[in-house]
Amino acid sequence: MPNWEDQYEVWSSSHFHYEPETDQYRWTPRQILNRVGEVGPDGRQLYRAFASTCNAYPVKGQCTTSKVQGRRVYRHVGEEYLERVRTYEQTLAYQKALRERQVWVEPLFAEAKEWHGMRHFRLRRLWRVNCEALIIAAGHNLQQLLKKRGWGHHPFPTDALCASFWIFWVIFSMTFEVENASCIE
């Protein structure tokens, strides 16, 4: 998962501790960000501290740039699932699965994107897009099957070499006979 810590000059929401029992964020025992309003249409909930509380702290410049409002933190409705995934990221099983994905799955998607035009689907409507993706996947599977069976990798064509030598000999001998016949007359 991407780390957005260094993107902004102020602290991210990871500097604040969420307390699910009270549904609020806490930075210090006195610095509390309370829930404000309802969940927005994008699925985020706003938590805000009072401006008077923020202005009293010496590290206000790292916390917020606003002089009128206090610090604001947004929490997505599914944030607890993201936190669970972040804890999984530290396990060895997760790191092993990620390495396997990089070897097995990602090259297939890269090939489909680059060689089979899956950057953009040509068809519209969900069922047509699914059909197009299945056709591309079937083509890839057929390509892999033919590669395993040796299609496209033939040994040196000795029969073709013999046939071309024979054709060359026939043409050469016919030419030689025509030249000799014209000399005799």
| 184 burial via Cβ count (<10 Å: 0-12, 13-18, 19+) | exposed
SS3 9: coil
CA distance 33 to 72: 8
The ranges assigned to domains in the chain are 13-86, 91-148
| Tens-digit pLDDT string for the chain (185 aa) | 555 555 666 776 777 788 888 888 887 766 788 888 888 888 888 888 877 777 677 776 666 777 777 777 888 888 888 888 888 988 999 999 999 999 988 888 888 888 877 888 888 999 888 888 888 888 888 888 888 877 666 555 555 555 556 565 666 665 555 445 444 54
Note the pTM of the prediction, 2 decimals: 0.48
